[in-house]
Amino acid sequence: MPIQIGTRAEPAHDDDARRWVGTEEPVAAEERTEAPPRVVMDADEISRAIIRMAHQVLENDHDVPRLIVVGLPTRGVPLARRLAAAMEDIEGHTVPIGELDVTFYRDDLRRQPTRSIGPTRMPGPIDDAVVILVDDVLYSGRTVSAALEALKDIGRPRAVRLAVLVDRGHRELPIRADVVGKELATASDERVGVQLEETDGVTRVTISRLRRAPDPLP
């Protein structure tokens, strides 16, 4: 029996229309403008990385009776679908997919721009299943930490693994990925952008350097 919590009320990602929570300054000045992005993975490289990741996931948990692949919005959800499809190609049977909205579990909810609350859907009980969390980028680790909290409210998986397309370093919490598509050495003033056909109309990974917006005139 599928489990569903919440519904998406409006588009999941709308940078221009982001709403803010709390009273703190909503955005760091250096995030306001960006230099042109440099492409570090194209669509073919991303496809190959996902196939590699699928093999690794299956190798790590080859004897598990129940695997559930769970995407973290926004782009973790289409990535989870792609990963599950690659796993199905290898294994020849259906791989159940879920999606997990972590917004209310974030420890930085008051500091971060929020997007609309998305749905949480599981293909069935997660108890005793191995859950493969899927996200596009692993950075501070706070999204994954929130995902682990959110999962606790749904059930008690036998194990939780983490698969990310890009690990860009700069962790703030003791979290690591089990399966990584590509490790990117990045500076803290850079931003990794994952774009996928399903959400962005183009598939690629870029790095851009964030530039400090000029101070306002006195």
166 forms part of the interface with ligand PRP (CB under 6 A): no
Which residue of 50, 54, 192, 196 would you call a contact of ligand URA, by CB under 6 A? Answer: 192
Which residue of 142, 161, 182, 191 would you call a contact of ligand PRP, by CB under 6 A? Answer: 142
Q: Which residues face 122 on adjacent strands?
A: 3
3/121 Cα distance (integer angstroms):
5
Q: Which is nearer to ligand PRP, 69 or 138 (CB)?
A: 138
Which residue of 168, 179, 204, 210 would you call a contact of ligand URA, by CB under 6 A? Answer: 168
Total length of the chain: 218
Give the binding range for ligand PRP (CB under 6 A) out of 41-49, 58-66, 81-89, 132-140: 132-140
* Short-list 67, 53, 60, CA closest to 157: 67
How remote is the C-alpha of 193 from its chain's centroid? 11
59/200 Cα distance (integer angstroms):
31
Site for ligand URA in 111-140 (CB under 6 A): 137, 139
Q: Determine the residue type at 10.
A: E
Q: Which residues bind ligand URA (CB under 6 A)?
A: 137, 139, 168, 191-192
